[in-house]
Amino acid sequence: MTPLALRADDPPGPGPVPVPVRGRPHRALLAGSVGNLVEWYEFGVYGCFATVIAAHFFTPAAGSGTGTGGGGAGPLVATYASFALAFFFRPVGAVLFGRLGDRAGRRTALVAVVSLMTLATTLIGLLPTQAQLGPAAPWLLTLLRILQGLSAGGEFGGAVALMTEHAPPGRRGRHGAWQSFTLALGLLCGAGTATLVATLLPPQDLYAWGWRIPFLLALPLGLAALWLRTGLPEPPAPPPGPGTGPGPGGSVCVPVGAGPVARAVVLGVGRIMGWSAAGYTFLVVLPSYLQSTLGASFREAMAATALANLGFAATILPAGALSDRIGRRPVMLGGALAVTVLALPLLDLLQDPATPPAARAAAVLGAGAAVGLLAGPGPAMLAEMFPARVRCTGLGVAYALANAAFSGCAGLVVTALVASTGNPDVPAYYAAGACALSAVALASLRGNGHREPLR
Helix/strand/coil for 253:
strand
- Chain centroid to Cα 385, Å, comes to 19
pLDDT of amino acid 358: 85
Q: Which of 237, 235, 162 is nearest to 396 (CA)?
A: 162
* Percent of the chain residues topping a pLDDT of 90: 27
Q: Which of 232, 359, 346 is nearest to 281 (CA)?
A: 346
Alpha helix stretches (DSSP H) within 327-384? 328-351, 357-375, 378-383
Distances (CA, A) of 193 to 12, 87, 186, 231, 302: 43, 23, 10, 29, 10
- Chain centroid to Cα 352, Å, comes to 30
CB neighbour list of residue 168: distance below 8 Å, 6 or more residues apart: 25
- The sign one gets for the Cα dihedral 418, 421, 426, 430 is negative
Relative orientation angle of helices 74-88 and 408-421, to the nearest 10 degrees:
150
pLDDT of amino acid 79: 67
Q: Which of 152, 72, 49 is nearest to 407 (CA)?
A: 152
Residue 288 to residue 280: CA distance in whole angstroms: 12
pLDDT of amino acid 74: 62
Distances (CA, A) of 304 to 180, 292, 310, 352, 357: 20, 14, 10, 15, 10
Residue 131 to residue 74: CA distance in whole angstroms: 17
Residue 247 to residue 255: CA distance in whole angstroms: 8
pLDDT of amino acid 435: 96
Q: Could you tell me the residue ranges of all domains in the chain? A: 25-238+247-451
Helix/strand/coil for 247:
coil
pLDDT of amino acid 177: 92
pLDDT of amino acid 273: 94
The values of phi and psi at residue 266, to 5°, are -60, -45
Distances (CA, A) of 105 to 224, 266, 446: 21, 25, 30
pLDDT of amino acid 348: 85
Residue 44 to residue 310: CA distance in whole angstroms: 13
Residue 35 to residue 229: CA distance in whole angstroms: 8
Architecture of domain 25-238+247-451: Up-down Bundle (1.20)
Q: Which residues pair with 253 in a beta bridge?
A: 246
pLDDT of amino acid 253: 40
DSSP structural state of residue 451? G
Q: What is the pTM of this model?
A: 0.76
Q: Which amino acid is at 304?
A: A
Low-confidence ranges of the chain (pLDDT < 70): 1-25, 27, 60-84, 232-258, 287, 449
Residue 332 to residue 319: CA distance in whole angstroms: 9
pLDDT of amino acid 229: 84
Residue 411 to residue 76: CA distance in whole angstroms: 9
DSSP tally for the chain: helices H, then strands E: 20, 0
